[in-house]
Amino acid sequence: MGKLENKVAIVTGAASGMGKSIAQLYVKEGAQVLLADYNFDGAKEVSDELNADGGKTEAMEIDVSKAEDVEAMFDKAVEVFGTVDILVNNAGIMDGFEPVGEITDERWDHIFDVNTKGVMRAMRKSVNYWMDNNKKGVIVNVISTGGLNGAHAGVAYGASKHAVVALTRNSAFMYAEKNIRVNGIAPGAVETNIGSSMTNMSEFGFSRAKLTHGLSPRTGKPDEIGEVAVFLASDDSSFVNGTVIVTDGGWTSGF
């Protein structure tokens, strides 16, 4: 029996990279999965591959920056699979390494709408569903080492991810007696396509950030993050709550 047998999970940003690997590993461990992504064609391709191998998944196009899409995502999972047990907030975008002197209101707002407000809305929907139905639930927030340190991206990305650390820890404490666990993963440099969301990069900001990026011993594989997401969603981590697991190959251990 798989570690997630008979569980239902929502994974955002599931069309590629870490989200794709998380969805694949969840299905391997017995979960049914709603693959939510702005890139519907990519999510549908992953879903079709998993279903062809005996998985039970559904693809859905959503923009996590839109409240109505987040609501519809959760409702769709309940409609298709009957319930939701696990929420994985993985979708996110980068800034352009802008320091505070260069960030625009528009860029700041967009990054927070995707990276922070979308996570908050999905968490809010989930905890209320679980409490209303007297159910256990697990939330896994894919954050970033940028949520724990100040030099891995620009000010907007870093601030948005620091906020998700607070969302994770506060919610874990608040709902600990309600059988709801909330944990995070802080990946370092991982081989994904998040760089495609970077536009108009700040030369000054990047020149500063690259001083720390050069210390990373290696890049990680998406599956290496996915395995941590399996652990946090399973009963193997039943006493783990409010924790952010740094998964960076030792990159940030020296500072």
- Whole domain around residue 134: which residue ranges? 8-254
Q: Is residue 215 part of a domain?
A: yes
pLDDT, tens digit, for every residue of 153-186?
A: 999 999 999 999 999 999 999 999 999 999 999 9
For residue 200, is pLDDT > 90?
no
Domain annotation covers residue 51: yes
Is 38 noted as a catalytic residue in this protein?
no
Give a yes or no: residue 2 inside a domain: no
Q: Tell me the average pLDDT across 182-211.
A: 82
Beta bridge partners of 187: 247
The whole-model pTM stands at: 0.94
- The residue that leads in pLDDT, 141 or 199, is 141
According to the model, what pLDDT value does residue 216 have?
85
Say which of 26, 38, 129, 157 is annotated catalytic.
157
CATH number of the domain within which 246 lies: 3.40.50.720
Q: Report the alpha-carbon distance of residue 122 to residue 12 in Å, rounded.
A: 10
Mean pLDDT of the chain: 95
Residue 161 lies in a domain: yes
Q: What is the DSSP letter of 101?
A: T
What pLDDT does 193 receive? 65
Q: What percent of the chain has pLDDT over 90?
A: 85
**Number of independent structural domains in the chain:** 1
For the cut 70, the answer to whether the pLDDT of residue 195 exceeds it is no
Supply the pLDDT for residue 47: 98
29 sits in which H/E element: none
Residue 59 lies in a domain: yes
